[in-house]
Amino acid sequence: MGLVQLTGSDKVRPWLDAEAVTWLGMSGGPAGADALSPTGDVLTVSVRARHERTGSEARVGRMVVTMGAVRPVHLDGARGLARVLGGTTLEAFAGVPVQRGFDYREVGFATGGRIGQAFGDTTIVGASYLRRTTDGALSDEELGADLALTPAPWLTAQARGAFDVIGRGPSDVLVSASVQRTDLRVELFTTHRSPGRLLPATSLFSVLGDFAATSSGSTVRYRMFPRLEVLGQGTVQVRGDDVGGQGTGRVTLALDDDFAGTIGIEVRRVVLGDARWTGARALAAVPMSPRLRVATEVELVRPDDPKGRGELWPWVLFAVGYRPSPGWDVGLGVETSSGPEYRARTAALARLSYAFAGGEARR
């Protein structure tokens, strides 16, 4: 399978742009058949009109809508954002949620919005709402609130929470406060969300440690030297009746003053319920020339209970990007791993893109 992404605008109408992302591929026939048939689906396709001076905009088409603290929605519909005088922001959306495999009995409708208010340069508050029906019956309903504070240049705080009205419980919560000096940043946080969202979905660190839990802890980030940064994080996690935690340490070295190339080492220990493992990760992103860039990540996980799958589970990712000429961009990534689900697994992704020189179009 492959992914095709198109975005574009022009100099005559800079306030108007469009984007589309679709995947195409070949799928096998019934069991025992050798024939392959083409398949594919449109992930997003939309047109946006934007008012440059105020930042207000309207988008129509298929899109993923994220608004405040409520959950993202993939829908065919419309979204609008208006910035008015006094620091007020109004957002709203409405449409039909996208289905995989159409069934008229499951056709639904989703609506929602957010109102936000800025108070000077120090405070932003917002309230959001999401309502979704399926076949005329209420299936999802969420209320959300978000807050961002910057009372001083060295102090920031944020909070976000979403309440599931149907389930009568929190679905996503984040509260954090951080203090930052020239080379030191200390953050305290409490969160109820997935700790592996920033890792690749196939990463062993994500697969083995990506569970819904309430976490409280601290992160300390220290720039020891102009190009050397040290990070340490410790959390206490609660999942049902299980109480555990995890600790992470990472060292990152920049290869140049612009941080265009970096290398790093990370170690992690996780203990919560059946998830008990120790892992190490090495990563590097190096520009070999103005046109060529390579990157790699290597993970090794040692589970407390390997369950007959070997003492060490590896995960390796290698990627290369190349720009043969202005406008063209070529990328290739290959990953392979062994773990609790597969003794051996390999996947590859290639990307080719072109930016038109005559206008404002992008890849």
pLDDT number for residue 198:
41
Residue 19 and residue 362 in contact, taking contact as beta carbons nearer than 8 Å = no
**Is the per-residue pLDDT at 33 higher than 60?**
no
Confidence of residue 268 (pLDDT cuts 50, 70, 90): very high
**Is the per-residue pLDDT at 207 higher than 60?**
no
**Which amino acid is located at 133 in the chain?**
T
What are the phi and psi torsion angles at 217 (to 5°)? Answer: 180, -160
**Is the per-residue pLDDT at 25 higher than 90?**
no
Residues near 63 by beta carbon (within 8 Å), at least 6 away in sequence = 44, 46, 74, 75, 77, 79
Distances from the Cα of 199 to the Cα of 139, 194, 242, angstroms: 30, 11, 24
What 3-state DSSP class applies to 105?
helix
State percent of the chain over pLDDT 90. 51
What are the phi and psi torsion angles at 67 (to 5°)? Answer: -150, 105
Average pLDDT for residues 145-163, to the nearest whole number?
Answer: 93
**Is the per-residue pLDDT at 278 higher than 50?**
yes
Can you say whether residue 34 is alpha, beta or left, with left for phi > 0 and alpha for psi between -120 and 50 degrees? alpha
Q: Let me know the angle formed at the C-alpha of 217 by 215 and 219, rounded to the nearest 5 degrees.
A: 125
Of 150, 151, 147, 149, the closest CA to residue 161 belongs to 147
Confidence of residue 150 (pLDDT cuts 50, 70, 90): very high
pLDDT number for residue 210:
53
pLDDT number for residue 363:
40
Q: Let me know the angle formed at the C-alpha of 91 by 52 and 167, rounded to the nearest 5 degrees.
A: 150
Lowest mean pLDDT among 73-77, 193-197, 297-301, 335-339: 193-197
pLDDT number for residue 308:
78
**Is the per-residue pLDDT at 301 higher than 60?**
yes
**Is the per-residue pLDDT at 316 higher than 70?**
yes
Distance, first Cα to last Cα, the chain: 19
Q: Let me know the angle formed at the C-alpha of 249 by 248 and 255, rounded to the nearest 5 degrees.
A: 135
**Is the per-residue pLDDT at 339 higher than 90?**
no
Structure token digits, residue 33: 């058949």
pLDDT number for residue 333:
94
DSSP state at residue 1? -
DSSP string, 269-293: EEEETTEEEEEEEEEEEEE-SSSEE
Lowest mean pLDDT among 209-218, 246-255, 278-287: 209-218
Q: How far apart are CA 245 and CA 227, in angstroms?
A: 30
Average pLDDT for residues 154-181, to the nearest whole number?
Answer: 90
Q: How far apart are CA 162 and CA 128, in angstroms?
A: 9
pLDDT number for residue 102:
62
More confident residue, 144 or 100: 144
**Is the per-residue pLDDT at 263 higher than 70?**
yes
**Is the per-residue pLDDT at 34 higher than 80?**
no
Confidence of residue 362 (pLDDT cuts 50, 70, 90): very low
**Is the per-residue pLDDT at 178 higher than 90?**
yes
Confidence of residue 338 (pLDDT cuts 50, 70, 90): confident
pLDDT number for residue 4:
83
Q: How far apart are CA 211 and CA 207, in angstroms?
A: 9
pLDDT number for residue 197:
39
Q: How far apart are CA 237 and CA 193, in angstroms?
A: 11
What are the phi and psi torsion angles at 19 (to 5°)? Answer: -150, 155
Summary count for the chain: helices (H), strands (E): 1, 21
pLDDT number for residue 32:
47
Lowest mean pLDDT among 186-190, 205-209, 255-259, 308-312: 205-209
State percent of the chain over pLDDT 70. 88
**Is the per-residue pLDDT at 92 higher than 90?**
yes
Average pLDDT for residues 306-310, to the nearest whole number?
Answer: 80
More confident residue, 145 or 40: 145
